[in-house]
Amino acid sequence: MDNNSVQQRLKCHFYDHFEASDSTFLSAITPQPLDNPSWVSTNKDLAEMLGISADEMASDTCLGIMSGDLTQYSINSFAAVYSGHQFGVWAGQLGDGRAITLGEIAVGDNDELWDLQLKGAGPTPYSRFGDGRAVLRSSIREYLCSEAMHGLGIDTTRALSLSTGTTTAVREQVEPAAVVCRVARSHIRFGNFEHFHYSNNPKAVKELADYLIQRHFSAWKEDPKRYYLLLQNCVLKTAKTIAQWQSVGFCHGVMNTDNMSILGDTIDYGPFGFLDIYNPEFICNHSDHQGRYSFRNQPSIALWNLNALATCFGSLLDTNEITDCLKQYENEYLSQYRTIMATKIGLLEYQPQDEQLINQLLIMMANDQVDYTLFFRKLCDFSVSNQSIRDYFIDRDQFDLWAETYLQRLASQKLTDKQRCESMQQINPLYVLRNYMAQTAIEAAEAGDYSEVELLLKILNNPYITHPEAEKYEGLPPDWASKISVSCSS
């Protein structure tokens, strides 16, 4: 990766578009590189998608850039301003406090733009007295989880690289600092629109909407309903993403409006968690004392956030158009969720009577504290002659009643047990990033061993197939896993 290739590939359309605007969308900022940087991991599959060769990715030049050293390059890096509601309360101005966008890379025949952003590369004007750094433990969690979500087929930011060095950061204690290079179709959030709406700047709201349409939805540019289509797309894509979260047992932990993507992608991996036992009241963020962002609440919180966003479209759409968009959320969410859950239990098509079948199963799982991921994977093998999953339940009689109804429903389909099993294994993952798995990788990495990060990256990129070298991650979590505490500082 020489100077010319960096200059040619890495552009900054967002910076170029808004630098001369009379609205303050961003601040030019130069990253502060890690001292004595070294790789923790590089994502070769994502690099290939971006058109970065293995040799380029392995180079010292690339390591320097991805750990924040831009001294030899004319790169217009920046941090963006936004505001938001945090835990349901208006928090005012926020912004990229420890994220610095390098620019975009055009990918594929259609030159689709992907943002490259460094998280943890030093303070910005929006750091609010923070050091702008990220520590190794939280960076490993984000690096692995963004790729885990991609492996599960859920739209998400991704992670190109993870580097560390001799730079440290003080949290509860002195910890090694790290930088994640995040890759996204867009880092624009609900909070970007909120910032300018509540600053009484409708011109900036329109400029931001026009930029999104120009970049992501160019076919709408001349459409008189383009702003309606933009809001509608956000509503529908958000509904789909939340349905997918619920189906794999993912809990975001900080669903503030500034952590919601305008494209409906999953962004900002802070105190997240995947369910071990199925518990609808699960709270993955120990800073969430009221349980606002519990697993059960995620669908309704997403709608609350969409209402907050829709308020900002008041200068672009009339009330009826906004209301019409928001009304589409519930139907889309339920349609997506029901379809996915029906597929998870081996049904070719969701039918209204399946609602009770699915809900009763989840109630039994919650009552008997059944492991969510493990159960659905084992369910793939269920048949008249193989009902070993019965042993997962305390109330066997209740399970037997459910199983009788389930077998009758399966019998109505023209599928063999083998065909159904193969289909179910493509939607019920064998691996998700449980907290204890991330913690195992973190402890090894802090001791200088990055092999567990690489192993998890490999299996989480392909979570539906067996990886013999990862057999230890295919069973129930260890007893100590329940003692892991994750908070906003993580």
Task: Provide the annotated active-site residues.
Answer: 258
Instruction: Write down the residue that tokens 């709406």 correspond to.
Output: 197
Instruction: Give the CB-side neighbour count of residue 65, counting CA atoms within 13 A.
Output: 26
Q: How many CB atoms lie within 10 A of CB 439?
A: 18
Q: What share of the chain is helix, strand, coil (3-state, %, to 5)?
A: 45, 15, 40
Give the closest residue to 98 by CA, choosing from 54, 60, 133, 63: 133
| Rounded Cα distance, 125 and 131, in Å | 11
DSSP 148-208: HHHHTT--B-EEEEEEEEEEEEESSSEEEEEEEEEEES---BHHHHHHHHHTT-HHHHHHH
φ and ψ of 86, to 5 deg: -115, 120
- Tokens read off for 327: 């009304």
- Tokens read off for 335: 């349609």
Distances in whole angstroms, Cα of residue 464 to Cα of each of 85, 348, 387, 426: 36, 19, 22, 6
Cα Rg of the chain, angstroms: 23
Instruction: Give the CB-side neighbour count of residue 178, counting CA atoms within 13 A.
Output: 24
- Tokens read off for 382: 């269920």
Q: Which residues of 175-186 are buried (b: 16+ CB within 10 A; e: fewer)?
A: bbbbbbbbbbbb
Q: How many CB atoms lie within 10 A of CB 326?
A: 17
* Residues 6 or more apart in contact with residue 265 via CB below 8 angstroms: 155, 156, 157, 184, 185, 186, 237, 241
Q: How far apart are the first and last CA of the chain?
A: 33
* Residues 6 or more apart in contact with residue 151 via CB below 8 angstroms: 429, 460, 461, 462, 463
